[in-house]
Amino acid sequence: MFLNDEEKSMLNGELGESKKWAIEHQIKVGNFFSAKDFISVSQAHMMVDPESIGEAGVIFLENLVEMGACVSVPTITDPRGVDLNYYKPLGQTENMANIDRRTIKACTSMGILMTNTCVNYQTIMPPVLGDHVAYGDTGVVIYSNSVCGARTNFEGGPSALAAGFTGRTPRYGLHLDKNRLPTKRFNLKYQPKDLTDWGILGAIVGKQSGSYWEVPIIEGLEVIPNSDEMKHLGAAMASYGSTPLFHLDKITPEAKNIKLDEFDYIDIKTIEKSDFDTLKSSFGQKGDKVDVVVFAAPQLSIVEMQRVADLCDKNTFKVPVIVCTSPQVYADALRMGFIKKIESSGAKVLEGTCFYNQYAREIGEANGWKRLLSNSTKIVNILGGYGYEPLLANMETCINSAVTGELI
């Protein structure tokens, strides 16, 4: 890779041990992907939840603190794995909480902003068109690339941290214009009706795209999806297909420059209502027993919180209901009375976590939860690997099913 003088200084250790580690890491990754040089980034976003980093990861971070490491561009965090105000009732252990406490301490020492959110594009500082960033969280990446027109690869925790230190990332993948053009075409014959439908559409497209290196474009949409709808569409697509970028014909910013007749060599796959029904039917049937209802993945926006609060109001639930949101939205929801409304019904709102990255297997076993019902097409995909039998339904059906204890 070509290195400029500053990058050479980092590599030689003249700018500190942590930057030396960071740029060495980035050069190895850059070589793997044949990157020619580096590109400056305006922000980094790091997944650093305790379940994925473990004891080994905390020690790694603490060693960086010892080296005097400090980020050089704004670096924010993905959801935590433990809500430190509410973990024992979930069956989470003191050891899990301690890993989280140590992580927070180490990250804070390095100047990292503990935003604890996977919806930073709704609450913190959304990237702008053409903005190069180093984002973690697949949902954040796909939204930022597709809806904002920013440029980022999936940056795993270590690489996002390295980018935070060096203020740059190797120029490969989606930082290059040539990798942002459509390679798969889909024509939609059924218009999504609610957030779950948008997630299902994402799952269908993600499954058929099936690779980080494919870029789907969806034609035939008759509505412009709002931010929450885009959020569920993208999060599910990334989850099912490892997809980091999509275009919506005539809607998303880069799609406006794509002339589809230049891509007429690509077969167009039609998506019908029956495709939606087929995907949904693999996640539970009416009458199935429900052990727990979860709203998460991605964290809820203030608009979703209001909707959940209205649906919870004056209900009594037979099974636990868990709602995950960001600290930013939580503060607003508290001020606006949504938290009180939700929790008066017996549901619980967790702050700064997301259910699937908070030791989902362990809390499932501790509480005897197997049949988990959610309106998130993403979470039902993930939790199959964590010993759950996930069920999928829209938000209203989830709430009504929590009242009866079975899928309505």
Partner 1 sequence: MSRILKCHQGIGNKVEGIVLCANDNFSARYDLDRINGIFSRPQHKLFGQTYKNKILVLNESKGGVASAWMLYEMKIRDVVPKAILFNRANTILAQGATLADLPMCDRFEDGDITSLLSTGDKVIVDPVTGKVEII
Taking the least distance from each CB to partner 1, the nearer of 154 and 338 is 154
Asked if 156 touches partner 1 (CB under 8 A), the answer is yes
Span of 51-59, 62-70, 176-184, 329-337 interacting with partner 1 by CB under 8 A: 51-59
Q: Quick one: 241 or 327, whose CB is closer to partner 1?
A: 241
Residues 229-268 that bind partner 1 (CB under 8 A): 238-242
Instruction: Pick from 68, 130, 385, 405 the residue near partner 1 by CB under 8 A.
Output: 385
Q: Which of residues 71-110 bind partner 1 (CB under 8 A)?
A: 78
- Identity at 321, one-letter amino acid code: V
Asked whether position 36 contacts partner 1 by CB under 8 A, the answer is no
Question: Distances in Å between the alpha carbon of 230 and those of 147, 194, 225, 238, 249?
Answer: 8, 11, 6, 12, 14
| Residue 270 lies near partner 1 (rule: CB under 8 A) | no
Question: Based on CB atoms, which residue is closest to partner 1, 342 or 383?
Answer: 383
- We find the least distance from the C-beta atom of residue 358 to partner 1, in angstroms, to be 12
Region near partner 1 per CB under 8 A, out of 2-10, 182-190, 209-217, 327-335: 209-217
154 near partner 1, rule: CB under 8 A: yes
Does 53 contact partner 1 by CB under 8 A? yes
Q: Of 92, 138, 144, 374, which one interacts with partner 1 (CB under 8 A)?
A: 138
Q: Are 380 and 374 in contact (CB under 8 A)?
A: yes
Answer for which of 23, 48, 82, 342 binds partner 1 (CB under 8 A) is 48
* Maximum separation of any 2 CA atoms in the chain, in Å: 66
> Is residue 219 close enough to count as binding partner 1 by CB under 8 A?
no
Q: How many residues contact partner 1, by CB under 8 A?
A: 49
Give dist(CA 340, CA 224) in Å, integer. Answer: 33
Which listed range, 31-39, 85-93, 263-271, 329-337, lies at the site for partner 1 (CB under 8 A)? Answer: 31-39
- Contact flag: residue 210 with partner 1 (CB under 8 A): yes
Q: Please, are residues 237 and 142 in contact by the beta-carbon 8 Å criterion?
A: yes
Q: State which of residues 18, 252, 381, 397 lies at the interface with partner 1 (CB under 8 A).
A: 381
CB of 269 to partner 1, least distance (A): 19
For partner 1, which is the closer residue by CB, 163 or 201?
A: 163
Assess whether the previous peptide bond of 298 is cis (omega < 30° from 0).
yes
Residue 155 touching partner 1 (CB under 8 A): yes
Q: Which of 51, 100, 249, 406 is close enough to bind partner 1 by CB under 8 A? A: 51
Q: Which of 12, 14, 36, 54 binds partner 1 (CB under 8 A)?
A: 54
Confirm or reject binding of residue 114 to partner 1 (CB under 8 A).
Answer: no
CA-based nearest residue to 390, from 308, 290, 275: 290
Segment lying near partner 1 (by CB under 8 A), choices 56-64, 253-261, 325-333, 397-405: 56-64
Residue 178 binds to partner 1 (criterion: CB under 8 A): no
Among 149, 157, 320, 327, binds partner 1 (CB under 8 A): 157
For partner 1, the binding residues (CB under 8 A) are 25, 28-29, 31-34, 47-49, 51-57, 60, 78, 136-138, 141, 153-159, 172-173, 210-213, 238-242, 357, 361, 381-382, 384-387
